Amino acid sequence: MKTQDYMNHPSEDSLISCALLERDEEISEHLFQCESCSEFVEDIRTICSDISSIEDEDIPLSLQKKIYHITKKRAKHYRFLNFIQTWYRNPVVIGMIAVFAVLFSFFFYIFFL
Ligand SMILES: [Zn+2]
């Protein structure tokens, strides 16, 4: 697992505004260290340049697919991060760990002592 999985990632909104305005020093610094966020910003910039090159034409299917792909990739990334950052606060997980600890010590006592 790479260290970037434990970072605090800027919100999607601030990444997008950074991609468009390029003025946030804090985010730029994060992008320098974080591959997934900098990829996201690159993707946004690519999409924006694609959109500005289209002008009056309709948005092509390839671009729609690209947007869909990014959103999907992003959602997966955040679900994983969210799990990493919150699992120890989840009472169900704590409860299960407690139950297993009790069962384990019980069986250990029965079989080995
Ligand atoms: Zn990041």
User: 30 CA distance to ligand 1 centroid (A)?
Assistant: 6
Domain assignment present for 95: no
Read off the tokens for 29. 């610094």
- Collapsed DSSP state (helix, strand, coil) of residue 25: helix
Q: What is the mean pLDDT of residues 37-42?
A: 90
Domain assignment present for 64: yes
User: 83 CA distance to ligand 1 centroid (A)?
Assistant: 16
Quick check: 61 and 95 in contact, CB under 8 A?
no
Q: What is the pLDDT of residue 1?
A: 41
Domain assignment present for 92: no
Q: Which residues contact 64 (CB under 8 A, 6 or more apart)?
A: none
Q: Which residues surround ligand 1, an ion (CB under 5 A)?
A: 9, 34, 37
Domain assignment present for 98: no
User: 91 CA distance to ligand 1 centroid (A)?
Assistant: 27
pTM: 0.43
Report which of 38, 33, 27 is spatially closest to residue 2, judged by C-alpha positions. Answer: 33
User: 21 CA distance to ligand 1 centroid (A)?
Assistant: 18
Element (H, E) at 38: helix 35-54
Domain that holds residue 82: 3-87
Report which of 64, 63, 12 is spatially closest to residue 41, judged by C-alpha positions. Answer: 12
Q: What is the mean pLDDT of residues 45-72?
A: 73
Domain assignment present for 111: no
Quick check: 34 and 9 in contact, CB under 8 A?
yes
Domain assignment present for 96: no
Domain assignment present for 113: no
Q: What is the pLDDT of residue 3?
A: 47
Domain assignment present for 107: no
Structural domain count, the chain: 1
